[in-house]
Amino acid sequence: MSEEIKRGIKAEDLYHLKSLNDPQLSPDGTKVAFLQTEINREKHAYKTHIFVGNLEDKEIRQWTFGEVRDSSPRWSPLGESLCFVSNRYGKSQLYIMNASGGEAKKLTACLNGARNPIWSPDGSKILFETSLGSEENILDTEKKKEEQEKQLEPMVVDRIRYKSDAVGFLDDKKQHLAVVDVKSGEIELLTDGATDYSGGCWSPDGESITLFANLTDEPDYTLISDLYIMSLKDKSLHKVTNSKGFFSNSSWSPDGKYIAVIGHEREYDSATLSRIWLYGVGVNSLICLTSEWDVEVGDVAIGDFHSGNVNPGIVWTNDSYGFYFLMSDQGSTGVYYGSIEGEMYPSLFENQHVYGLTVDGEKHKAVLAISKPTSPGELYTYDLSTGDIEPFTNVNASFLDRIELSDAKAFMFKAPDQWDVHGWIMKPVGFEEGKKYPTILEIHGGPHAMYANTYFHEFQMLAAQGFVVVFTNPRGSHGYGQRFVNAVRGDYGGNDYIDVMSAVDYVLENYDFIDESKLGVTGGSYGGFMTNWIVGHTNRFKAAVTQRSISNWLSFYGVSDIGYYFSEWEVNGDIISNTEKLWNHSPLKYVEKIETPLLILHGEKDYRCPIEQAEQLFVALKRQKKQTKFVRFPESNHELSRSGNPKLRIDRLNHINNWFLEYLTNE
């Protein structure tokens, strides 16, 4: 019998692939709960369910069902029940399910939903987040009914931050913290007022919690996130950090002596490395444990398959001396072990993307979610003491057995100023020696993010169509130290542009299968800015696709949800006193020089890089009768490629694919 001929990935294969996320070990370390997300092809809708696997016999059972999205599975301290968030009856609310089986019980009925459940140490209460307006009560359903029935009213804006790419236009609602009694269902609101609060963790004695907030007089201008300790007895707050930077992901040591937290003091604004800090509760001291370690703590890898990855933060061992965490370096993410003495050791660091971590702090065993360029993502059991690792799931194996994927081969080269730059090259599916292929340069967003050794659906689709795919981490990217990530600030279109163009020079010199006359370039967000910049400064590329891009920093300053401070931090210009700086770094200034056929893709409800950025570019090109096309995606924000409507995600991929096929393969 002849061997089955495998095919490459298509955009539509998103309907076949399953995403695994947010693994959570039970307290006794014998079971793991996790999320599995797939797409209903008929409804073009996501569904996310909770699965629970037994680590001893490897049996995996589905616990929740239906055309719903469940999230945040969290075991009770004794493991007898599981709390989770679900939108099964509209607004997302907390539910609780007995570990021995049975129906899920609805635990909250909050006016504006509930999220991020955190169990108290004794299992009697759950801390969670909700949203409330100035005149709303947490359970005021009648108020909600009246609100739905009232007529349209003008929106009155009196603050500089009045919209968000994540939620749209902001009203007077703020995020607050509450606790629900598991037995009675009674809810106590812990915070109020015109401030957003986010949850942290419980103290081991259950008498305090940590939280994050910006309690400065002008939060729209100070742009910080401080760590606080709240006494649940009188709701008093003790401030831990000093209002200089951003902190999140707190974790209290089991003995109650320390709080570990991830953050930075904004020394380089948005380009500052996140580090591990340790607060001594009894002695009221805060120190940075990784101040001399030139590494980003956390997962900053860019991908287009998983969305909503959960940062595990600092996971303590039972002895309160050590902890585990994720870190990003050199295009990979891995697991490290640290101690209160400041020791940092790799536990698992290979050429892969660890995007999920849960640890048994007594047995030093873990369950990891891992992706590689040829693996969308599976769960693995890992012995942190011995290094033994075994696959636990294989949800995508049966489909991928029929698919040929292209691996990514890493390379390193010297930029003209001798800075080291890291990149990857993927051969086309069905590669033949001696043949030359059209090649596409991909540029990531951020810019403070990192291409990684992870699965990228867009890249695999292009490789399946006969394209070589090249992607790099130019300066400004995370993963290569503080100096490298900060180097792009004030220099957009400078040495970062030279880095990506030098990558093209390098692959042309070192790989003889690239057709130099058939080069394409694409990228999204900052990668869209760079795509626009490239085609305005060189005609080297035969086709380009710019996605959710920036074309004009002058208008971006006032229309983006982050425009006023991002422009100042990143471009070092502002609309009042330094307009020339913004205009000089704007691709629109150089639009007359663009000759490359340019496809423009943008979401209608993108408030991060608003669609007017695309409109200006399109009209300027059309006015010159240049070769361009503009595709607008309805009801889509900046996250279209990762978590947007499944049909539109696929439409986007096919538009990219067809544009490059038209201009790079047709003679």
For residue 525, indicate whether it is catalytic.
Answer: yes
**Whether 411 contacts 506, CB under 8 Å:** yes
Which residues, at least 6 apart from 618, have a Cβ–Cβ distance to it below 8 Å? 600, 628, 630
- Output the CA torsion 601→607→609→611 (10° steps): 40
- Among the listed residues 176, 422, 638, 655, the single catalytic one is 638
**Sign of the CA dihedral running 7, 9, 11, 13:** positive
* Cα dihedral value 340, 198, 201, 332, nearest 10: -50
Q: Which two tokens stand for residue 330?
A: 């050199």
Residues forming beta bridges with residue 59, ordered by sequence position: none
Whole-angstrom distance, CA of residue 257 vs CA of residue 263: 20
Q: Which entry of 86, 525, 567, 636 is annotated as an active-site residue?
A: 525
Report the distance separating Cα 442 and Cα 473, nearest Å.
10
**Which residue blocks in 203-310 are alpha helix, DSSP H?**
219-222
Residue 580, class by beta-carbon neighbours within 10 Å (0-12 exposed, 13-18 middle, 19+ buried)?
exposed
Per-residue tokens: 301: 């890898």
Token output for 20: 């695994």
What are the Cα distances from residue 299, in Å, to 309, 371, 449, 595? 9, 12, 9, 38
447 prior amide bond cis, ω within 30: yes
* Three-class secondary structure of residue 505 per DSSP: helix
The residue count for the chain: 667
CA distance 343 to 392: 30
Residue the block writes with tokens 């799931």 = 393
Write the Ramachandran bin of 481: left for phi over 0, alpha for psi from -120 to 50, otherwise beta.
left
Say how many C-beta atoms besides its own lie within 10 A of residue 156's C-beta: 6
Strands 514-524 and 543-547: parallel
- Which tokens go with 83? 């709390």
CA dist., res. 294 & res. 505, Å (int): 29
Burial classification of residue 405, based on how many CB atoms lie within 10 Å of its CB (0-12 exposed, 13-18 middle, 19 or more buried): buried
Continuous H helices in 536-624: 553-559, 563-566, 579-584, 612-623
DSSP 213: E
Distance (Å, rounded) from C-alpha 502 to C-alpha 485?
A: 18
274 is catalytic: no
Give dist(CA 201, CA 118) in Å, integer.
7
Rounded CA-CA distance 602/245 in Å is 32
Report residue 209 as tokens.
Answer: 């919690």
Catalytic residues: 525, 638
